[in-house]
Structure 1
Amino acid sequence: MRNFKKAIVSLVMIIFTVALFTGCGNNSGNETQNSLEKVKKAGVLKIGLEDSFPPMEFRDSKNVLQGFDVDMANAIGEKLGVKTEFVGTEFNGIVLALKSGKFDVIISGLSIDEDRKKEIDFSEPYIENSQIIITKVENDTIKTSKDLEGKIVGVGLGTTSEKVAKELTGLKEVKKYDKTTEELQDLLIGRIDAVIVDEPVGKYYISADDKKGKYTVLNEKLTSEPMGIGFRKGDKELEEAVQRAVNELKEDGTMSKISAKWFGEDIYK
């Protein structure tokens, strides 16, 4: 009888445990499936970004967040009928933060590459990006990537710039930075010889009034890597809604206006 009672208790515990884990699994799936519904219900789209990547996203002298991605994200929010909330995040941990639910999407100059596609989903590309080399204007010894042999090169920690630098042979050192502004400043004061960075950043810095005549952007493009909006795996409803919004912004000319504002040209022609 005692053994029978034990068997009944064990069976009940097994059923309870199975039901508990099944319920947890279903809730997890529903969270992803219903994220668009949650965004609309809350009236807020939370966006993860790293705020020192001009002209994509950065803070001005008054600490106001601005940039191409910021303007695009706000326009997407308007299309969805919700407010936008920007969540500052170190770029090296931005994918993990998305997966953990810290925010709904990544809009932060995020390059689409195969490693990231294993972790998250992407929108269609909204910018065709590439990695370029920046040197100090006085340095005429570096003309191409081959001239980086024996040199110290700065890259963004966790970025595709870091991956590109690792593939180059003969570098003396690859120095990693949390913020693009820091590596460009180190370049000016001579702590490093060159910076590998996304093309929009290079173009922005050589055109800014206080940076003119200080940097040289080499003609060589090291990669072709389009930028996209990042989503949690399987978050299809939100992804489709955001993609529709971006398509509409291209069609109504909003993306062209944002491009002209930050790049000085319409990249969507």
Structure 2
Amino acid sequence: MKNGKLKKLITLATVVASTFALVACGSSSSDDSKGSDSSAKKDSGTVYRTLDEIKKDGTINIGVFSDKNPFGYVDENGEYQGYDVYFANRIGEDLGVKVNFVSTEAANRIEYLQTGKVDLILANFTVTDERAEEVDFALPYMNVALGVVSPDSNVIKSLDNWNSKDQMIVISGTTAETYLTENYPDIPLQKYDSYATAKNALENGNGVAWANDNTEVIAFALQNKGYTVGISELGNKDTIAPAVSKGNDTLLDWVNEEIKSLGDEQFFHKDYEETLVDTYGKDYEEDLVVEGGAVQ
């Protein structure tokens, strides 16, 4: 009798435990699905937070460069600075939330958006048709083209008749890599993951030249003696714009309205004068700055 009662008790305990586990699992699933469009975000394969979710959290995660002076970099005090950072801080102020800067590299900007690591990318992100298939771009706030910088001892002024033994330095995931691969497939590319490593490679003579945004190579040549931008415009002129996860319409619409509003006060000219004028001077201001999202 005792053994029979014991078996019944064990059976009853097992049933109760199983029922509790099922109920608990159901509750967890319900909690995970909370939010206005959580299921839609998962179904699309992209994770993002809506504008309301960002406001409720009180923090917006913005991806910026940490090694691309003067656009996004960390100063000697460990603080983020630069043209993109200046804009990011204003976004946080007008949105009424704290800005959490997330250091990104060119090659992982799209990944950081798609996985929800950042809400917004402000990392010198050039607008292209290919990228627009994976992220949503807001209105532009800067003009840009590609450029090529090389040592004074061997200034590269043309990419025609390239020596097949020479290598061109590029950063993975940039428009320079895409452009050269498509238009100059015979030029060997030496690829790096960050701006710092690409600069070091050029300084160490690991490549004959470095192709990147003309703003970046012009800044490098102005800040480092012994280098010249032999090609200041390569290919078509493009624009730089903020990017959000594909389908994050609420945040995209807010950023677009913010850019239009900031144009009324000539914000991006002020941004240039606060962060870029020491590097480029006044001569480049009207060429580079886009106000209110309106490209001239």
Q: What range is the shorter-chain TM-score in? A: 0.7 to 0.9
- Residue by residue over 1:189-233, the C-alpha shift from the partner in whole angstroms, topping out at 9 and shown as x without a partner, is 21100111011112222233xx14434342342332211111111
Aligned partner of 2:79 among 64, 81, 102: 64
Structure 1 contact 109–228 (Cα < 8 Å) conserved: yes
| SS of residue paired to 1:255 | helix
Residue 103 (structure 2) aligns with? 88
Q: Which moved more, 1:193-202 or 1:50-59?
A: 50-59
The amino acid across from 1:251 in the alignment is D
Q: In structure 2, what is the Cα distance between the partners aligned to 1:108 and 1:83? A: 18
Residues 153 and 123 (structure 1 numbering): CA distance in 2 closer, same or farther, change over 3 Å?
Answer: same
Q: In structure 2, what is the Cα distance between the partners aligned to 1:79 and 1:206? A: 36
Residue 179 (structure 1) aligns with? 194
Q: In structure 2, what is the Cα distance between the partners aligned to 1:33 and 1:193? A: 41
Q: In structure 2, what is the Cα distance between the partners aligned to 1:239 and 1:152? A: 39
Q: TM-score, normalised by structure 1?
A: 0.82
CA shift, 1:58, in A, is 1.5
Q: TM-score, normalised by structure 2?
A: 0.75
Structure 1 contact 47–103 (Cα < 8 Å) conserved: yes
Residues 174 and 253 (structure 1 numbering): CA distance in 2 closer, same or farther, change over 3 Å?
Answer: same
Structure 1 contact 76–246 (Cα < 8 Å) conserved: no
Q: In structure 1, what is the Cα distance between the partners aligned to 2:71 and 2:65? A: 10
The amino acid across from 2:92 in the alignment is G
Structure 2 contact 63–118 (Cα < 8 Å) conserved: yes
Q: In structure 1, what is the Cα distance between the partners aligned to 2:117 and 2:48? A: 17
| SS of residue paired to 2:143 | coil
Q: Which runs of 5+ in 2 are unaligned?
A: 1-25, 292-296
Q: In structure 1, what is the Cα distance between the partners aligned to 2:48 and 2:181? A: 38
| SS of residue paired to 2:173 | coil
List, as ranges, runs of 4+ consecutive aligned residues in structure 1 with deviation greater than 6 Å.
Answer: 30-34
Aligned partner of 1:78 among 93, 98, 116: 93
Structure 1 contact 127–228 (Cα < 8 Å) conserved: yes
Q: In structure 2, what is the Cα distance between the partners aligned to 1:260 and 1:89? A: 25
Residue 8 (structure 1) aligns with? none
Structure 1 contact 111–228 (Cα < 8 Å) conserved: yes
